[in-house]
Structure 1
Amino acid sequence: MPQLKLEEVEIVRIDERYSRQARSLLFHSYIEEPTYRYLFDADQPGYKQRIRATLRELIRLHMDRGELMFGAIHKSEERLLGVAFCSDLELKTDISGQLLWRLKMILTAGLEGTKRFLRYFAEVQRSLPAKNHRMVSLIGVHPDFQKQGIGKMLLEAIHQVADQDQNSIGLFIDTGNNRYLEFYQSLDYRVFTELQLDQLQEFVLFRPNPNYIDTSAS
């Protein structure tokens, strides 16, 4: 595993110019993740293609909506080492109600994969409070550069922006990999709830916004 000096890494806002790199990076990050293995039936032919198609459609949707997207860039090589996407409540409406997006998913990720993804997405969203919040919807670090502090840098960049929204109660993130729980907890996330989707156990974590102002109490 190549060793990085973190001073060689810069966290920047990314746009559609980084779409291809982001898809490749997230593919390598997610291919062995329990959530994606369950959602897209890793034991059946075409698993890799289903992941690639899903990530392409998700990234396109985030970019079309102008979501908060950060990338970790190696300064000298201009290489994308990690990405993190943060969405707001409106993404729920776009995914659950956007017919064209659903059709694209069915055509590329398959009917069963799309049905599982939409069920998983709905279950996670249903577990969240109705109050204004944001969610870290996609995050990944290239396997060659994991466990070197890049994930922390990406999340801290999101925290810095999200914490400025005094109307938001905080950030949520979900994972089916319990190996990540300690890492998220080190950044002030706590387990908000646990979901059971067939054989998949999904953890939903929450990081409160330290600057949140509860106007309902006044």
Structure 2
Amino acid sequence: MSTSYRVSKLIKSDKPLFVSLMSRAFAKDPFFMHLFGDSVLDRKARRRVSAFVSFMFDKSFLLYEEVWGCFENESLLGTYIVEKPYASKLQNMKGLLLIGRLIPLLFQISGQTLSLLNSYMKVTRSVAPPLTHHYLIMIAVKPENQGKGIGKVLLKHLLNSVNMDTKSHGVALDTENKENIKLYQKFGFTLSNETQIDNVPVYCMFYKK
């Protein structure tokens, strides 16, 4: 593994790098394709994915979330968004500003898609263990850099942060790719629930400290 990898928190100017990486990495994700269409073949689907990922990045700066990236020199190779388990009153007030961020998104995606996204959030959060925990919202590696240990670097960084947080009991995540289950199990995650969102299988996992 290259010793030049570094993990650091993303800043607002990193948004174009984040959007490009996430959009490409999730192009064939089953739930993304169900929501937005095939972004590899369809230009409109590509715009919808980009708009959604852009919203997720902006949201992280308004809520109690962090975006971290794995860099080699100045190149972003992988990234993740994590929600922390507790929020201050200031963060809750900032959440009201999300309405302004939602408006551009609503011009790109349908009401039905937004409803499915809300259903996904409600279902996956409801099956998570009733413990104070982090939630891994998204994690991805640039397609041409997959298989080089970058995902492991990011997961180790996340779990180290979780283990150091005395108020957190672990971290939850969800994946629609069944082949990811074994990977996460190697890091101590267990499969806590299997469900479906509009006929798309979703596997809910939890890492307990």
TM over 0.5: yes
1:29 aligned to 17, 20, 25, which one? 25
Distance 1:182 1:6 in 2: 24
Distance 1:46 1:29 in 2: 17
Distance 2:94 2:177 in 1: 26
| Cα pair 1:72 1:81 within 8 Å, conserved | yes
1:7 paired residue number: 3
1:215 paired residue number: none
| Cα pair 1:95 1:101 within 8 Å, conserved | no
Distance 1:33 1:94 in 2: 30
Shift of 1:37: 1.0
1:112 paired residue number: 112
| Cα pair 1:105 1:114 within 8 Å, conserved | no
| Cα pair 2:64 2:83 within 8 Å, conserved | no
* 1:73 to 2:71 alignment: yes
| Cα pair 2:172 2:204 within 8 Å, conserved | yes
Question: What is the aligned residue count?
Answer: 203
Secondary structure at 2:108's aligned position in 1?
helix
Structure 2 runs not aligned, ≥5 long: none
Distance 1:191 1:36 in 2: 22
1:131 paired residue number: 131
1:214 paired residue number: none
Structure 1 runs not aligned, ≥5 long: 210-218
Distance 2:191 2:93 in 1: 25
Distance 2:121 2:104 in 1: 17
Shift of 1:96: 11
Change (3 A) 1:125 1:93: farther
Shift of 1:98: 5.2
Question: What is the TM-score of this pair, normalised by structure 2?
Answer: 0.87
Distance 2:56 2:187 in 1: 26
Tell me the amino acid that sits aligned with residue 114 of structure 2: T
My pick for the range that moved more, 18-27 or 85-94, is 85-94
Question: What is the TM-score of this pair, normalised by structure 1?
Answer: 0.83
Change (3 A) 1:73 1:113: same
Deviations 1:60-119 (A, max 9, x none): 0002336222111112xx100110111134689988995444444322222222111111
Distance 1:112 1:94 in 2: 26
Shift of 1:33: 0.6
Secondary structure at 1:205's aligned position in 2?
strand
| Cα pair 2:62 2:97 within 8 Å, conserved | no
Secondary structure at 1:140's aligned position in 2?
strand
Distance 2:84 2:28 in 1: 27
Tell me the amino acid that sits aligned with residue 193 of structure 1: N
Change (3 A) 1:149 1:62: same
Change (3 A) 1:95 1:206: farther
1:49 paired residue number: 47
CA RMSD of aligned residues (A): 2.6
| Cα pair 2:85 2:168 within 8 Å, conserved | no
* 1:38 to 2:26 alignment: no
Change (3 A) 1:187 1:48: same
My pick for the range that moved more, 92-101 or 16-25, is 92-101
2:157 paired residue number: 157
Distance 1:52 1:134 in 2: 25
Change (3 A) 1:18 1:167: same
Distance 1:51 1:93 in 2: 27
